[in-house]
Amino acid sequence: MTQLSVRRWTPKHVAKWLKEEGFCDYVDLLCNKHRLDGTSLLALSEYDLRSPPLELKVLGDIKRLMVSIRKLQKQNIDLLEELGLPFDGHSPTGSGGSLDWLCNGDPGRDCDSTDTAPVGEEYHQYTNGKYKQQTRRLDPEYWKTVLSSIYVVFVFGFTSFVMVIVHERVPDMRTYPPLPDIFLDSVPRIPWAFAMAEACGVILCNIWLLVLLLHKHRSILLRRMCSLMGTVFMLRLHHHVCHLPVCARTAPAMLRKDIR
């Protein structure tokens, strides 16, 4: 095939070439759906066949098709160089000339390469000379844990002080009886509900302490927990301060329940 003929191939010519090479099953996918012409056929790599949008599943077909494409590329080396797609005689470069399909199924370096590990990353070297990227170690950053602990202690103390002040301003229930509640007045009181809630709280606290002691990144978990608790209690403080005047006049019983 001459360079001129391959350059001018249309999807119909590519379909004819595929049929001649024995790949009739892929004519519709490559030619009709993805409209491969002569130039794009020369630029096709094994990585392109394996990865989306083609994603060929049959390994034997992938290898045989690549052998046929390499033969075509070998016959049109000058055209490949003109298109900026160098051909090394073994494996065509991936899309854009930067990716090869490795033996482990991942795009990256050549499987036969014995280069050193990439600079700036932590890699584990196997006995066969290959490298695997290790999991990045998280910095505990203890100073953040200390700041979050100080934050939650300050919020707890300030919230407790404000709740005491609010409790002292709650009107006398004998003078201002509780407002009726349609839902709570219709539901029978469950004597053991409060004890069950306390038991659930104790169990959850013990589970949290166990996770904190056994976790690898306990410093990170502790500071996140402190930050969340401090923010939640800060919102509780905002609720008491902002709604005190309204609650004191309209719903003293509800305010007392909230404080408890």
CATH of residue 59? 1.10.150.50
Last residue of a domain, one of 42, 67, 82: 82
Last residue of a domain, one of 82, 110, 134: 82
The number of distinct structural domains making up the chain is 2
Q: What are phi and psi of 101, to 5 degrees?
A: -90, 120
Reported as a single tens digit per residue, the pLDDT across 76-98 is 888 888 877 766 554 444 444 44
238 is a domain residue:
yes
Band the pLDDT of 38: cuts 50, 70, 90: confident
Has residue 150 got a pLDDT over 90? yes
Has residue 153 got a pLDDT over 60? yes
Band the pLDDT of 244: cuts 50, 70, 90: low
**pLDDT, the chain, mean:** 76
Has residue 45 got a pLDDT over 50? yes
183 is a domain residue:
no
Fill in the amino acid letter for 100.
D
Reported as a single tens digit per residue, the pLDDT across 51-65 is 888 889 899 999 999
52 is a domain residue:
yes
Q: Are 256 and 247 in contact (CB under 8 A)?
A: no
Q: Is 66 helix (H, G, I), strand (E, B) or coil?
A: helix
Q: Are 100 and 94 in contact (CB under 8 A)?
A: yes
* Whole-angstrom distance, CA of residue 251 vs CA of residue 174: 13
131 is a domain residue:
no
Has residue 1 got a pLDDT over 70? no
Provide the residue range defining the domain that includes 70: 6-82
* Whole-angstrom distance, CA of residue 233 vs CA of residue 161: 12
* Whole-angstrom distance, CA of residue 229 vs CA of residue 221: 12
For the ranges 3-7, 63-67, 163-167, 217-221, the lowest mean pLDDT is seen at 3-7
248 is a domain residue:
yes
Last residue of a domain, one of 32, 60, 82: 82
* Whole-angstrom distance, CA of residue 8 vs CA of residue 37: 8
